Amino acid sequence: VNTKGMESQVTVSKNYTIYFIANLEGVRNNYGIYRSEYKNGRYLKPEALPEQINSKGLDWTPWISADEDMLLWSSWRDGGQGSGDLYVSFRSKSDPKQWSDAINLGPEINRGDNERFPSLSPDGKYLFFLSDKLDPYLEKNKKLAHSEVMKYYFQAGNGMCDFYWVKGDFIRKLK
């Protein structure tokens, strides 16, 4: 799996198949989401996920469910809310190489603030992710006193990446 290129952002299923981003052949600009199965004590040659996952935009920060039936990731594809949006795709039971079309998790999650690194709690009840969301006060007030800048610099909503969590049980219903 390891090459002279870049491999990063690994997520592992219960049968040890890894999903990750890499600079490998098989997708646009040789940068996208790949998987490598674990067989007989070693990982097989990585394969690029299909175009439902790897778009013409930037696709990264994958998270695979334990059973490999659902993939969450961030994408800068056309049709999103502006910046990196979170998407889900469901894997076919009858043909494991087939995935559903990417489904945007919607404006309640994706606000155009570069949402990324999604994951579900083991029970599927909660979605965790990172976002560069900016406090509405900061969006409206472009000129701030130094004391205001320092106040917002050290708290959530400063536009510099925070953890968020919401109920995640809606995701499986998208299937």
Q: What confidence category does residue 121 fall into, taking pLDDT thresholds of 50, 70 and 90?
A: very high
**Residues 6 or more apart whose Cβ sits within 8 Å of residue 147:** none
128: three-class secondary structure by DSSP: strand
pLDDT at 147: 87
pLDDT at 142 over 90: no
Percent of the chain residues past pLDDT 70, beyond the cut:
100
* Alpha helical stretches, state H, the chain: 136-140, 146-153, 170-173
Is the model's pLDDT at 53 over the cut of 90?
yes
**Chain-centroid distance, C-alpha 68:** 15
pTM for the predicted model, two decimal places:
0.89
Work out the pLDDT band at 112, boundaries 50, 70, 90: confident
Q: Which residue has the tokens 């334990």?
A: 66
In sign, the C-alpha dihedral spanning 69, 72, 77, 80 is: positive
Above 90 in pLDDT, residue 80?
A: no
3-class DSSP assignment, residue 30: helix
What is the pLDDT averaged over residues 36-47? 95
